[in-house]
Structure 1
Amino acid sequence: MTVDIRARLAEVLPGIRSDLEDLIRIQSVSADPARAGEVERSAEKTRDLFVAEGFEADIVRAYDGAPPAVIARKAGPEGAPTVLLYAHHDVQPENDHADWDSPPWEPTAREDAHGETRLYARGAADDKAGIAAHLGAVRIFGDDLPVNLVMFIEGEEEVGSDTLVDLLNAHKDRLEADVIVIADSGNWDIGEPALTTSLRGLVRMDVEVRTLTHAVHSGMWGGLAPDAIMTLSRLIASCWDDAGNLVIDGLHSGPAADVDYPEERLRAESGAAEGIEWIGTGSAVERLWTQPALSITGFDAPKVEGASNTLVPAARARFSLRVAPGDTTANAVECLQRHLEANVAWGATLSTTVVDTGEATQIDASGPAYDAARAAFSEAWDGTAPIDMGVGGSIPFIAEFLEAFPRASVLVTGVEDPDTRAHGANEGLHLAEFEKVVLAEALLLRNLGDL
């Protein structure tokens, strides 16, 4: 049967790419109210693609005016397991078109720096290729599905999935499944597949310090009254030791898989400036996947140009805390708040506001469904077994799926690779790897049907 699947893949792949390119041309930027109509068009196009394959499909939303999702169902053999395939049809803004080497909404195939062919456009990988991969697996089998299939294609992932829990609760009977495949992650490298088994959570907190009721002359009061910028800078610096390890007591850390991340690859993929030293201790993948990390992603203070000789009375920064798998955002908020209160200097007034949170995920990657997935991936990548990969970023909705469907096996995979550049300019889908992703998903469905 493997030969038949590979032969069918070759037959359906040109049509899948054409449908993917049509989806890409729809500017479904969920963060842009002016393009809400495009998000609707994207949902309609997605629904119609699955209707054409014999699915019962419709557009659902949590309430009138909420972003549109698509639910589609097609029955397989009686008594077969039910598999839910997830992706999202909304995309990130394209930002400055001048940063792109080709128009961001016109899919363009060209060679990358390694001589490999990629399809460049916004959404080419994240995550319209996830939809296309599901569609490809469906077309390989036609009406001879080995399992019962449910499609859940979300329309607001890029803006935080605010209504996802409501959708899961409202349509739980339609979405109930034995296995859930979430196509919104990636592989370890070109030619090296992966299953994502852990993701860090996220706490974003705005922190403000105030030292004066109003700005005063720096010559008259400097040296006696502390200004807010120096006070906030000192508070920020208190979060790390000299080696760059976080010193916020109570945050959880854990071990990571024994995976080699070569120094040359680290520097190339991170964009590290020449001569920069890494921060923290432990293996690279522990620091990236299973240890907490804090970044300062914004700072409100007067600009250098035009700054006057005054002591600044208040300053504010945005703290972005990645929470290790095994920890909770509630604990992380408490630990960060306690540290800030203990370390704010010179009696300054401290104000904090939690902007948003997303839970970390730790998946038990054992059992028949994971065995079926590993066998499928090894077969699709010609004998290369998948690694269990952590992800330093956050996909909070995965934790919500785990909570909503506690008896289901949740597999997290995807089409991305280290040079996909999702969310950035020149986002690109590696076409040869995409073919393997479609093949692996079809083989997975076959293996699950055999169970």
Structure 2
Amino acid sequence: MAETSLEQIRSRVDADWNRIVELLKSKIALRSVSAEGITGDHMKRSAQFVADELRKVGVDAKVVQSANPDGTPGAWEVIGSRIVAPGAPTVLLYAHHDVQPVPDPTAWNTDPFVGTEIDGRLYGRGSADDGGGIAIHSGALAALGDELNVNVKVFIEGEEEMGSPSFIPFIEAHRDEFKSDVIIVADSGNWSADIPSLTTSLRGNTCVDVHVKVLDHPVHSGQYGGPILDANTIAAMLISSLYDANGDLAVPGIESQEPVGGLQRDLDESTVRADAGVIDSYTLAGTGSLAARMWTKPSLTVIGFDAHPVEGSFNVISPETTFRLSLRTAPGQRPEQAQEALAGFLESHAPFGAQVRVDRLENGMGWAMDPNAVATKDALEAMREAFGIEPINKGEGGSIPFIPELQRLFPDAQVLVTGPEDPKANAHSPNESISLSGLRHNVETEALLLAKLGR
């Protein structure tokens, strides 16, 4: 069978375009917020919708409820397959159908659960993360139709935004349904809407809760203030001791790493500042390439802090406090190792002998792409053809812990991380959107890639 050409694929995607966009708009309207209950009816409806859409493009799809490690009911998952020949290569297509919450709809310029087209972008919660991934898979399979020459397995997860607690038990219970030669994870993004990328690496992650205590009970700040520092100040001093004067994390045992596969192009500082809304007076912290600082070097964030609010505050010295640290680790470092290094440093560097206790929380391993895999080279070639421009590989500062778990469970599989996002997507934030021209090229890319993998 001759390999399907770009011209054929492009023509079919054009003819199918309205369906692809309407699929995405319908998905946005389902309000598939897993934080509101992964076992809820709204999540089951979302899974059923995805299964129905996959059946339209030839996948024998079904909805299955997973089980958590403790045996309680888990997420509603979509699994399916389309087998073209017993000896053909097998490709697993991954995306997730759950979306992030919308805490404040007034922060949006449009209704977050109504897909709205503005200036070539489709706005709505889940438009990019990861309704776009579902749309890419659907569009690519439709474009190939009966010319599909690889066996396809599909897994559309229902709890990715909740940390995937039942992911591994589910995969282990369905090994035969997921065993594949190539795994395409469509949950990342491109350099820009017009420049394609393979994701070369993902940082790992680990969290700790830090308890700081200086007093057995509150005391008056006028009477005792001076020799006794409040717990919040001690906590601030402890946090600042984790960094050097340049703003680099300086904790012995926490590793740093350069971009995987080499740095093809550094990130543009003005673009990063504009996309993140950085105030003009702020100088970006750290040293080295901006790409390394955002992709492969470790980063630490205070994501929670127990302190009395300004409203209703009064003159007492706070006796104790707790804060939570989220550490993004270099792709190659075991998160447990980094967590222990962080916890050990905190416990041994308590300012003025304050009592510091650290609770070790969850860990997720990072991941790095194999640049020499055949699937990697096919993917780059498909991107080059579909977008008409040379790809720029990039890392991601975020974490997708199930990817290294997939690699562990299926060590012979070649893993590719692609996706529908771009720097303007605002995934997890107000005004999330997807570039429609980028989506079109992503659909063409995946269709070309599947055709190449079947050679």
Q: 1:87 aligns with which of 92, 95, 103?
A: 95
User: Among 435, 451, 454, which residue is 1:449 paired with?
Assistant: 454
Structure 2 equivalent of residue 315 of structure 1: 321
Deviation at 1:320, TM superposition (A): 1.2
Deviation at 1:348, TM superposition (A): 1.5
Partner of 1:439: 444
The CA distance in 2 between the partners of 1:307 and 1:212, in whole Å, is 18
In structure 2, the partner of 1:114 is: none
- How many Å separate the matches in 2 of 1:9 and 1:442? 10
> Residue 156 of structure 2 is aligned with which of 150, 153, 156?
153
1:135 to 2:138 alignment: yes
Residue 161 to residue 307, structure 1, CA distance change in 2 (3 Å): same
**Pick aligned residue for 1:208 from 206, 211, 223:** 211
Could you tell me which of 113, 118, 136 is aligned with 1:110? 118
CA distances 1:212-251 after superposition (whole Å, capped 9, x unpaired): 0000112222223332122111111100111111110011
Superposed counterparts of 1:223-238, under 5 Å: 223-238=226-241
The aligned residue for residue 47 of structure 1 is: 51
State the shift of 1:159 in Å.
0.4
1:359 aligns to what? 365
Distance 2:249 2:144 in 1: 51
Selected match of 2:30 from 15, 26, 49: 26
Displacement of 1:271: 1.4
Instruction: Report the secondary structure of 2:285's partner residue.
Output: coil
In structure 1, the residue matched to 2:396 is 391
Report how far residue 208 of structure 1 moved.
Answer: 1.2
Moved over 4 A (4+): none
Contact 2:378 2:449 in 1 (8 A): yes
SS of corresponding position for 1:135 = helix
Q: Secondary structure at the match of 2:73?
A: coil
Q: Which residue of 1 aligns with 2:169?
A: 166
1:341 Cα deviation (Å)?
1.5
TM-score (norm 2): 0.95
Correspondence for 1:407: 412
Instruction: Return the letter of the residue paired with 1:439.
Output: E
Identity of aligned pairs, percent?
A: 42
Deviations 1:57-112 (A, max 9, x none): 2112322631111111011244210000000000001221111111111111012x
Q: Is the CA contact (8 Å cut-off) linking 1:104 and 1:122 kept in structure 2?
A: yes
Say which of 10, 13, 19 aligns to 2:17.
13
Separation in 1 of the partners of 2:441 and 2:279?
34
| TM-score with structure 1 setting the length | 0.96
Could you give the per-residue CA deviations for residues 310-335 of structure 1, whole angstroms, max 9, x where no partner exists? 11100111111110111111111110
Contact 1:27 1:35 in 2 (8 A): no
Question: Which amino acid is 1:275 matched to?
Answer: S
Counterpart of 2:6, as a letter, is: T
Q: Quick one: distance in 1 between partners of 2:289 and 2:58? A: 49
Please report how far the alpha carbon of residue 435 of structure 1 lies from its aligned counterpart in structure 2 after TM superposition: 0.2
- Give distance in 2, aligned partners of 1:330 and 1:17: 42
Instruction: Give me the whole-angstrom Cα distance separating, in 2, the residues matched to 1:275 and 1:224.
Output: 34
Aligned residue pairs: how many? 444
What is the rounded CA distance, in whole Å, between the counterparts of 1:7 and 1:99 in structure 2?
39
1:361 CA displacement: 1.0
**Residue 192 of structure 2 corresponds to which residue in structure 1?**
189
> Would you say the 8 A contact 1:193–1:381 is kept in 2?
yes
How do 1:266-305 and structure 2 match up within 5 A?
266-305=272-311
Are the equivalent residues in 2 in contact too, given 1:61–1:167 (CA < 8 A)? no
Number of the residue aligned with 1:96? 104
Where does 1:360-375 land on structure 2 (aligned, <5 Å)?
360-375=366-381
Give the Cα–Cα distance (whole angstroms) in 1 for the partners of residues 17 and 372 of structure 2. 32
Structure 1 runs not aligned, ≥5 long: 112-116
Q: Helix, strand or coil: the match of 1:231?
A: helix
Are the aligned partners of 2:38 and 2:75 in contact in 1 as well (CA < 8 Å)? no
Give me the whole-angstrom Cα distance separating, in 1, the residues matched to 2:91 and 2:175: 14
